[in-house]
Homo-oligomer: A and B are copies of this chain.
Amino acid sequence: MESYRAAGAPALIKCSMLECAMCSGLDLPIRMELERLARIRRFHAGETVLGEQETVTSVGNVVAGILRMQKTLLDGRQQIVGLLLPHDMFGRVFTSVSHVAIEAATDATLCCYNRVNFEELIKRHSELEHRVLRSVAHELDAAQDWMLLLATQTVTERVATFLLLLWRRARQQENMRKKSPQIVEVPISRKDVASYLGTTVESVSRSIQSMVRGNAISIVDTTHIQIENLGLLLELSGRDRSDFHEGTERRARTG
Instruction: Evaluate contact between B94 and A133: CB separation under 8 angstroms.
Output: yes
Does A219 lie at the interface of the complex (its beta carbon under 8 Å from any beta carbon of B)?
no
Interface string of A78-106 (1 = CB under 8 A from B): 11011000000000101111011000000
Instruction: Evaluate contact between B143 and A255: CB separation under 8 angstroms.
Output: no
Does A171 lie at the interface of the complex (its beta carbon under 8 Å from any beta carbon of B)?
no
Q: Given the known A-B contacts A79-B152, A81-B147, A143-B147, are A54 and B132 also in contact in the complex, defined by CB atoms under 8 Å?
A: no
Instruction: Evaluate contact between B198 and A54: CB separation under 8 angstroms.
Output: no
Q: Which of A31-39, A68-76, A205-213 contacts B (4 or more CB under 8 A)?
A: A68-76
Interface string of A142-171 (1 = CB under 8 A from B): 011111101111000000000000000000
Does A51 lie at the interface of the complex (its beta carbon under 8 Å from any beta carbon of B)?
yes
Does A249 lie at the interface of the complex (its beta carbon under 8 Å from any beta carbon of B)?
yes
Instruction: Evaluate contact between B240 and A97: CB separation under 8 angstroms.
Output: no
Instruction: Evaluate contact between B139 and A79: CB separation under 8 angstroms.
Output: no
What residues of B have a CB within 8 angstroms of the CB of A140 in the complex? Answer: 136, 139-140, 143
Top 10 closest pairs, chain A to chain B, by CB = A151-B198, A57-B255, A143-B143, A81-B144, A1-B255, A126-B126, A77-B152, A150-B150, A71-B148, A140-B140
A residues at B contact (CB < 8 Å): 1, 50-58, 69, 71, 73-75, 77-79, 81-82, 92, 94-97, 99-100, 123, 126, 129-130, 132-134, 136-137, 139-141, 143-148, 150-153, 198, 238-240, 249-255
Q: Given the known A-B contacts A129-B129, A136-B136, are A152 and B55 also in contact in the complex, defined by CB atoms under 8 Å?
A: no
Instruction: Evaluate contact between A137 and B94: CB separation under 8 angstroms.
Output: yes
**Copies of this chain per assembly:** 2
Instruction: Evaluate contact between B130 and A249: CB separation under 8 angstroms.
Output: no
What residues of B have a CB within 8 angstroms of the CB of A151 in the complex? Answer: 79, 150, 198
8 Å CB contact of A252 from B51, B130, B255: B51
Instruction: Evaluate contact between B145 and A71: CB separation under 8 angstroms.
Output: yes
Instruction: Evaluate contact between A58 and B255: CB separation under 8 angstroms.
Output: yes
A57 CA / B144 CA spacing, docked (Å): 21
8 Å CB contact of A55 from B75, B150, B255: B255
Instruction: Evaluate contact between A53 and B129: CB separation under 8 angstroms.
Output: no
Instruction: Evaluate contact between A73 and B137: CB separation under 8 angstroms.
Output: no
What residues of B have a CB within 8 angstroms of the CB of A136 in the complex? Answer: 133, 136-137, 140
